[in-house]
Amino acid sequence: MKKLALAVSLALAAGMAHAQTIKIAGFGAKSGVVRSFGINSEAALLAAADVINKAGGVKLADGSKAKMVVEFYDDRCNAEEGISVIRRIAGTDAVVAVGPTCSNVAEPLFGILQKKAGDAGDSGLQMPVFTDVAIKVGLAKISEWAFRNVPNEMTMYNSLFYWLRTQHPGLKTVYGGVEEDFAHSRATWYIVMKTRAEASGYEVLGTSKWLLADSNFATQVREMKKANADIIALSAHPFTTCGVLKEMQRQGVKPKLLVGLTSSSSLETLQGCPKQAEGIIIPTSFAPINKEANFAAKSTAKFKGAADLHSMAAWENMFILKNVMEAEGISGKPGDVQADRRKIRDGLARLKTTQGLMGVTKRDAEREADKPYLFVHAKKGEWKVLYNPL
């Protein structure tokens, strides 16, 4: 009888050990017009967790293994909602949060985190946030608890315009189009695309502006037509990118080259206007060009998500976090959640490089990533690699 009781106890103890989990909180837009970003991020997080768990899980400080569990929260791409979500996550046993989708959420959300880690006088949230999607330049410096694995648009567009200059030396002028009321589009045009084009020797002839929900682009496209620039660069998301491209077709505006916004190198653009988007060149940090990237894309598809530069950043984040957790030796015990969060923060802060799907990503002192990139262009309804500087 004693032997039986001992066996049952051992079995239960073993079962409990197997049941140990490390919770990762994902968050992003799963409703509203950018819902696809949240769906894809969640799928990539779940797919990565599945791969990690099948390989044994995360090794904890005591040598045991824990499974990664992902819980995803919807912030509706709304700043207030995002802040509420991160507060809720902080109240759970999640050791790290991955998100958000939108820069207009990331900016205020990073603002409620503790500015300087360990500052006893700062009552801000002490929760490591590892962003996969929100891409507006320079946001991680807001808090030492904020980290990002998003492409460096400054580097990518600098390289793109330089490359275009070398490939098409006859092209001299650029005309811009920007979604004036969207944080990312605006910042990317005025801070990144425009300045990088000028730095590469292009003359920027002007900028046409529209709003995210606009439906009539006739006036803006007439401005483009008048400018008659060699290159038209659109810093806009798929809905208005397609609206503008269709209006350009109607008015017979045919620039020699079209350049698009990083976030538009997605299925949405090809679904909205495959014919009109033909030839548009976009720098991106993901394309299924190697074994690992193809595996990640296929694994994400099993969870009903699409692989793009954003969702694959979420995939990479999971593997980076696993390595950090193991290197820092988190305990995974309910009583140590805050200590584990601090260890993860410190571990992420120490990283100088990480391994991504496209190669090695450099990390800077402001907790931003400098990811490998390539240039894709729309060809017959698909994104094809145009140039791979890797």
Partner 1 sequence: MLDFFQAVSDGVLFGATYALIGIGFTLVFGVMHKINMAYAAASVGGAYAGLLVLQVMAGAPPWVVFSCAFLAGGLLGWMVYVTCFHFIPLSSPLAPLMSTVGMLLLIDEVIVHLTAGMPQAYPALFDDVMLSMGEFTLRGDLMLVFGVSVLAMIALLLLLYRTRLGLATRAVAQQPVAAQLCGIRLARVNVLTFVVTGLLGGLAGALVGASVGTLSPLLTVPLTIKGLIVTVIGGLGSIPGAIVAGLLVGGFENVLQLYRGVTERDLYVMLLLFAFLIFRPAGLFAPRGGH
Q: Which positions touch partner 1 (CB under 8 A)?
A: 31-36, 39, 180-181, 209-216, 218-220, 222, 238-239, 242-243, 246-247, 249-252, 267-268, 271-274, 276
3-state secondary structure of 116: coil
Rank residues 32 and 111 by Cβ distance to partner 1 and give the closer one.
32
Rank residues 145 and 182 by Cβ distance to partner 1 and give the closer one.
182
Local structure of residue 301 (DSSP, 8 states) = H
Q: CA–CA separation, 74 vs 72, rounded Å?
A: 7
Q: Around 140, how many Cα atoms within 13 Å sit in the side-chain half-sphere?
A: 29
State in angstroms the smallest separation of the CB of 196 from partner 1.
24
Rank residues 123 and 215 by Cβ distance to partner 1 and give the closer one.
215
Q: CA–CA separation, 138 vs 165, rounded Å?
A: 27
Please work out, in degrees rounded to the nearest 5, the angle formed at the alpha carbon of residue 46 by the alpha carbons of 183 and 83.
Answer: 40
Q: Are 159 and 195 in contact (CB under 8 A)?
A: no
**H-run or E-run covering 184:** helix 183-187
Structure tokens at 29: 């837009």
3-state secondary structure of 256: coil
Structure tokens at 291: 């074994």
State in angstroms the smallest separation of the CB of 247 from partner 1.
8
Rank residues 39 and 89 by Cβ distance to partner 1 and give the closer one.
39
Rank residues 179 and 368 by Cβ distance to partner 1 and give the closer one.
179
Rank residues 181 and 382 by Cβ distance to partner 1 and give the closer one.
181
State in angstroms the smallest separation of the CB of 203 from partner 1.
22
In the block, tokens 């803006």 appear at 220
3-state secondary structure of 220: helix
State in angstroms the smallest separation of the CB of 32 from partner 1.
6
Rank residues 176 and 332 by Cβ distance to partner 1 and give the closer one.
176
State in angstroms the smallest separation of the CB of 240 from partner 1.
9
State in angstroms the smallest separation of the CB of 111 from partner 1.
25
Q: Are 235 and 193 in contact (CB under 8 A)?
A: yes
State in angstroms the smallest separation of the CB of 275 from partner 1.
9
